Amino acid sequence: MLAALIASGLLALPGERLAAVELALAVGTPGMAALGVATGALVAGLRGAGAVAGLVMLPLGVPLVIFGAGAVESGQGLKLLGATSLVLLVGAPLVAAGAMKIARD
Task: Give the pLDDT of residue 47.
Answer: 83
For residue 74, CA distances in Å to 10, 61, 80 come to 22, 20, 13
pLDDT digits (tens, 9 = 90+) for 46-92: 888 888 888 889 998 999 999 998 888 887 889 999 999 999 999 99
What average pLDDT score do residues 16-20 get? Answer: 88
pLDDT (average), residues 93-100: 92
37 contacts: CB under 8 Å, gap ≥ 6: 92, 93, 96
User: Mean pLDDT across the chain, nearest whole number?
Assistant: 89
Residue 95 binned pLDDT confidence (cut-offs 50, 70, 90): very high
pTM above 0.85, yes or no: no
Other Cβ atoms within 10 Å of 85 Cβ, number: 24
